[in-house]
Structure 1
């Protein structure tokens, strides 16, 4: 069994995609993707305390970065014959 450490900011789509590429390159293939990053803005959306930049970051981490990782992972899986 081999293990490696990788680091990326899930809010950055480019870093998310590069992370998947790095894993596939390091191990020769990609068999599974687990998106296990997420965050929640503490204030209700209609609150005066709701910070627009915090909401943008939440969207970037919880959606945009996830989609980027899934898209890149699907490319990697297709190249080795996965579905």
Structure 2
């Protein structure tokens, strides 16, 4: 009885892994990150941040890179609290 694996067990796709990898990097100055988003991922920055925000709530992302996801969740929560 072969069942289709759940989305949670399938793991992240390459785009999601690349987004998390980019978030682990340090960028030298203003605009460098946005340039990397466009050049390396082929995404407009607005779409990148939409995907990143959704990824932070994805249990597969947490399993793949808990340090980065938890750090970004803390940043997101802190910014929401400041509003």
User: TM-score normalised to the size of structure 2?
Assistant: 0.32
User: TM-score normalised to the size of structure 1?
Assistant: 0.32
More helix by share: 2
The structure whose Rg is larger is: 1
